[in-house]
Amino acid sequence: MAEVTLKNVGKRWGSFVGVDNFDLTIADKEFLVLLGPSGCGKTTTMRMIAGLENASEGDILIGGKRVNDMEPKDRDVAMVFQSYALYPNMTVYDNIRFPLKVRGVDSSTHDEKVRRASAMVELDDFLHRKPSELSGGQRQRVALARAIVREPNVFLMDEPLSNLDAKLRVSTRAQIKNLSHELAVTTIYVTHDQIEAMTLADRVVVMKNGVVQQIGSPTEIYDNPVNIFVASFIGSPAMNLIDGHVQDGTFRASHVEIPGLSVPDGPLTLGFRAEDSGIAAPGQGQINAPIYTLELLGDATMISVRVGGVLVSVKADKNFRAEIDDMVSISVPQEICHLFDGQTGVRIEGGSPAFHGPDSRCSSPV
């Protein structure tokens, strides 16, 4: 059981900055997700914690001990690789047992530990097989079992679900969530999938180009994105963002007019979520535009309209029906709006009040 602390950790290759000034304390038993597009430095951050990559600057502490100069094996972490990295010459049983064997754990306990780990991921029937005889999902579970068999201080998971098909991803995600609850071990999980981040995390770190954008609970990040990048990365569909101007407290763009904003005049990016808005009586809404497309999702109907040069999505009732090019009126009251500075993209207070937790940290991309 351990707390992981990153103190101003950075990684550079020559002049290229992979991770810049990463500063965070991950509490004992916390499930932390590093989220961002590819190349944002999330995997590098994890590899620095594992010891597979040297930090160029800053300190990494696991359980209060500085581990910068330690070998991976001495850090007492377990890692699940994106490619699973199973040992092809060993059976599933030997794969799971491998960490116990090389660490010289008392061999009389091996069998019990291996069987407990394999039972947790439902692999009991496959213990004698070679990895090449397993499906992708089963291989993934072997990798999980190999990580949990040793009861390490910290789990590291590098996009463990990205090689699975969509259906299996959902069920394995649930399994990981349940496992992490059962094991109660500090877990750091890297993903580019915002749904994984939202469903699994106690806290999410959103990164872009090596720079931390926002740290907070999934709800905080969903409700109060600190800038346009986070707003557009979290949520499905992504938040609608419209560029426009404010004059006398009223936001205007083509087909859009939203009054009641208490922000100074000037350019502004206004965001709102499809699921917060809805269809208004004709002419009563803040957006009035012809329908661009209409998608039936089953539980709802997604309507898109083209306003201010972008497509804006709105979730309507599942029984809503209309034709393309029909005029529609959309209600976007001032309360559901997120306001971002037109130039810097940073969140402006004045829409709904933004939340700042004790660990939240805003740094805007320049």
CB of 120 to other proteins, least distance (A): 18
DSSP 346: B
**Phi first, then psi: what are they for 264, rounded to 5°?**
-65, 160
CB of 100 to other proteins, least distance (A): 9
Q: Which listed residue (8, 54, 83, 284) binds other proteins by CB under 8 A?
A: 83
Task: Give the residue with the Cβ less far from other proteins, 88 or 298.
Answer: 88
Stretch that binds other proteins, among 16-24, 73-81, 216-224, 351-359 (CB under 8 A): 73-81
Task: Give the residue with the Cβ less far from other proteins, 49 or 279.
Answer: 49
Q: Which listed residue (1, 52, 174, 311) binds other proteins by CB under 8 A?
A: 52
Instruction: List, in order, residues 6 or more apart from 328 with CB less than 8 Å away.
Output: 279, 288, 289, 290, 291, 303, 305, 322
The CB-side HSE value for 30 (13 A sphere, CA atoms) comes to 19
- Spatial distance between the Cα atoms of 50 and 85, rounded to a whole number of angstroms: 15
Sign of CA dihedral 9, 14, 17, 18: negative
Residue at 114: amino acid letter: V
| Residue 292 lies near other proteins (rule: CB under 8 A) | no
Q: Which listed residue (27, 57, 68, 81) binds other proteins by CB under 8 A?
A: 81
CB of 77 to other proteins, least distance (A): 6
Task: Give the residue with the Cβ less far from other proteins, 52 or 310.
Answer: 52
The CB-side HSE value for 257 (13 A sphere, CA atoms) comes to 8
- Spatial distance between the Cα atoms of 77 and 189, rounded to a whole number of angstroms: 13
Q: Which listed residue (8, 25, 54, 89) binds other proteins by CB under 8 A?
A: 89
Interaction residues for other proteins, span 101-120 (CB under 8 A): 102-103
CB of 151 to other proteins, least distance (A): 13
Sign of CA dihedral 281, 283, 287, 288: positive
Within a 10 A sphere around the Cβ of 16, how many other Cβ atoms? 8
Task: Provide the angle, in degrees to the nearest 10, between the axes of the packed helices 136-148 and 110-120.
Answer: 130
| Residue 358 lies near other proteins (rule: CB under 8 A) | no
CB of 76 to other proteins, least distance (A): 9
What's the Cα-to-Cα distance from 202 to each of 32, 189, 214, 218, 266, rounded to whole Å?
A: 6, 11, 14, 7, 37
CB of 86 to other proteins, least distance (A): 8
Interaction residues for other proteins, span 123-182 (CB under 8 A): 146, 150, 156
| Residue 78 lies near other proteins (rule: CB under 8 A) | yes
Helix/strand/coil percentages in the chain, nearest 5: 25, 35, 40
CB of 78 to other proteins, least distance (A): 7
Q: Which residues bind other proteins (CB under 8 A)?
A: 50-52, 71-73, 77-79, 81-83, 85, 87-89, 98-99, 102-103, 146, 150, 156
